[in-house]
Amino acid sequence: MGSIHLVVPQKEEPPALHERAMDNLKYIRETMERATAFTGISGWGQVAIGFTALVSASISAQQKTFKAWLAVWMAEALIALLIAGWSIDRKARAAKMPLLSGPGRKVAFSLSPPIFAGAIVTIVLYRAGLTNEIPGLWLLLYGTGVVTGGMFSVSVVPIMGLCFMALGAVAFFAPAEYANWLMAAGFGGLHIVFGVIIARRYGG
Amino acid sequence: MARQSALKDSTQKKSATTLRDVGDAKAKHLAPNLDRLIHERMRLGIVSALAANESLTFNDLKSLMNTTDGNLSVHARKLEDGGYIACTKSFEGRLPKTEYKLTLAGRRALENYLSHMETLIHQMRNS
Taking the CA atoms of residue A82, residue A88, residue A90 and residue A92 in that order, the dihedral angle to the nearest 10 degrees is -150
3-state SS assignment for residue B92? strand
Within 8 A of A13 by CB-CB distance, chain B residues are 17
pTM, two decimals, is: 0.63
Contact: A35, B124; criterion CB under 8 Å: no
Size of interface A-B (CB pairs under 8 A): 81
Q: How far apart are CA A18 and CA A62, in angstroms?
A: 66
- Across the interface, whether the CB atoms of B64 and A203 are under 8 A apart is answered no
Across the interface, of B23, B27, B44, the residue whose CB is closest to A24 is: B44
Q: Round to whole Å and give the CA distance between B40 and B48.
A: 12
Average pLDDT score, chain A = 84
Give pLDDT tens digits for B14-69: 444 444 444 455 555 555 577 888 989 999 999 999 988 788 889 889 988 889 99
B96 - beta bridge partners? B91
Listed residue (B92, B29, B25) closest to B57, CA to CA: B92
- On the question of pLDDT at A48 being above 70, the answer is yes
Q: What is the pLDDT of residue B77?
A: 95
Whole-complex ipTM? 0.72
Contact across the interface for A35 and B48, Cβ inside 8 Å: yes
* Residue pLDDT, tens place only, B12-24: 444 444 444 444 5
What is the C-alpha to C-alpha distance for residues A189 and A182, in angstroms, rounded to an integer?
9
Contact A97, B52 (CB under 8 A): yes
Burial code (b: 16+ CB inside 10 Å, e: under 16) for A98-110 equals ebeebbbebbeeb
Residue A167's CB: how many other CB atoms inside 10 A?
23
